[in-house]
Amino acid sequence: MPQSPITAPATRLPGTAALAAHRVLTAGGWLHDATIRIDAAGAIARVETGVAAGPVSDTIILPGMPNLHSHAFQRAMAGSAERAGSGPESFWTWRERMYRLAQRLSPRDLETIATLLYVEMLEAGYTSVAEFHYLHHAPGGVRHADAAAASRALLSAAATTGIRITLLPVLYMYSGFGAQPPEPEQAAFVHPVGEYLALLDSLLADATGTARIGIAFHSLRAVTPAAMAQVLAWRARHAPGCPVHIHVAEQLQEVHECEAWSGRRPVEWLLHQGFIDRHWCLVHATHTTEEELRGVAQAGAVVGLCPTTEANLGDGLFPLAEYLAAGGRFGIGSDSQVSVSPIEELRWLEYGQRLLHGRRSIAASETDPHCGSRLYRAAIDGGSRALGQPGAAIAAGQAADLVVLDGGHPLLAGAQDDELLDRLVFAGNRPLVARVTVAGREVVREGRHVLADEAAAAFRDLMNRLRAG
C-alpha cells in the first residue's frame, strides 16, 4: 500500500461510549431525551430513554448518510470544466477533460485527493461511501507494480479519515456497444476479464472492519454479456451477496445506441437478462420508462441518484414521482464531486421534480407528508442497501454511524421531529453538522475533521503541481 501523505489517525479518532441527545431519529421513530450506548466494536449496544449520559440541551442525532456513488479523483477537476468550447457542451465534451486529468494521476495523488474528499464528506454528514473506481492503471494502460495500488490508495484514504467504504473496482473493457475497441484515453481504465477477477481476488483480504469490496460494471457499452456473466459467476462463488453497481441510461445517446445494439433499452435489457436483484444499484437510470421503473422496484434494486452531477452534465431528470409510486428505493451520491453535500443532493432531487411537474412536495406521501423527512429516510435506507453496509438506522446491533446536529442553531428553533428534517433539507447546510461518528469513533467535532488542515494542505500542493505541470 502506498505511504499516506497524511498522518494515520489510529490514536487520533477517539472511541465514544455514549451519546445523549434531546431528540434521536431511531428505526422506530423519534425518541426524546435518549442516550445511545456504543460497544467496543463500534456498534450500538442499546438506545435508552430517561437516562442522561451527559448534557442533552437541544442536541439532535440522526443516522449518517451513505454516499452511494463517488469518483474520488474527479474532486481535482470540480468547477474546472465550466468554460465553454467552440461547439455545444455536453457530457461527452466534459468526459474528454476528465480523461486528461485521469492520465496525470498516480496512486499517491489519488490518495491525496480522496483523503481531502473523504474529510469533506464526513464534515458534511456522509458517513459511508461507495467508491466507483475505474482509474486502475498508469497513463497508457501501463500496469503498476502492485496491480491493486490505486484501489489500495482509496482504501488507505478511507482508513486514514475514518469513513466507511465499499470499494467497487470497475470492469471497463470497451468504448461502445458491440465490443468496440477502447479509445487510447481509456487505457488506464481497461481490464480483460481475467485480470479484473484477479484484482477482485487480491482485494478480498482488504475487506475488513469498515471496508468492504463489491463489483461494478462501468456501463453496458463498456462490457459484454459474456463478461458480465463471468463476473457474476465469480461473485456467486467468492462473494455472494456483495453489491453490484452499474452506470445505466444516463444519456439519451446511450439509450439509442443500446436499442440499436440489442433492440432493448438499457434498463429493459438488464431486466430481460434477469440480472437485477436487491443487491444491484443502477446509477442514474435517468432515461427510463414507467414499465422499467416498476421492474426495478419489483426486483428490490436501488437507483443511485446524483442530482448535482446530473444537472452539471445536462443528463436530464429522473422520473422520481413515478418511481416512488411504484415503491422504488433510491439513494444519493456525490459522483463528480461538484458538490459534497447530502443536503444539496436531496434538495435538488426534489427541486428538479418541482420544476418538471409544476407543483410542490413531490416526494411527500400520505404516510410521510414531510417532504424532507421522506427524502432523508429513504436515502439512508436505499444507500445502506446499495453499499451492503450496516448503519441504516439507530437501533441495537446497527453500526454507530451517527450525525449530531447543532440543535441550538437558530434555523432549527421551534422545529418538532420530522419538521427538523424538512428544515435541514430545504434550508440547512453544512454548519448544522456539529459531530460525526463512524463505527463509534468521533471523526468530526465542532464541525471540523481532525485531519482537515493536513488534508487540505496536501491537496493544495497537489493542485499547484498539476497546474504547474
Q: Which three cell numbers stand for residue 54?
A: 451527559
Q: Which three cell numbers stand for residue 3?
A: 505511504
- Of 335, 401, 418, 422, which is the active-site residue? 335
Q: SS3 sequence, the chain? A: CCCCCCCCCCCCCCECCEEEEEEEEECCEEEEEEEEEECCCCEEEEEEECCCCCCCCCCEEEECEEEEEECHHHHHHCCCCCCCCCCCCCHHHHHHHHHHHHCCCCHHHHHHHHHHHHHHHHHHCEEEEEEEECCCCCHHHCCCCCCCHHHHHHHHHHHHHCCEEEEEEEECCCCECCCECCCHHHHHHCCCHHHHHHHHHHHHHHCCCCEEECEEECCHHHCCHHHHHHHHHHHHHHCCCCCEEEEECCCHHHHHHHHHHHCCCHHHHHHHHCCCCCCEEEEECCCCCHHHHHHHHHHCCEEEECHHHHHHCCCCCCCHHHHHHCCCEEEECCECCCCCCHHHHHHHHHHHHHHHHCCCCCCCCCCCCCHHHHHHHHHHHHHHHHHCCCCCCCCCCCECCEEEECCCCHHHCCCCCHHHHHHHHHHCCHHHEEEEEECCEEEEECCEECCHHHHHHHHHHHHHHHHHC
Q: Is 218 a catalytic residue?
A: no
Question: Rounded to whole angstroms, how far apart are CA atoms 413 and 409?
Answer: 7
- Of 69, 133, 284, 287, which is the active-site residue? 284
**467 CB-near residues (< 8 Å, 6+ apart):** none
For the chain, the first-to-last Cα distance in angstroms comes to 26
Q: Is 335 a catalytic residue?
A: yes
* Active site (catalytic) residues: 284, 335
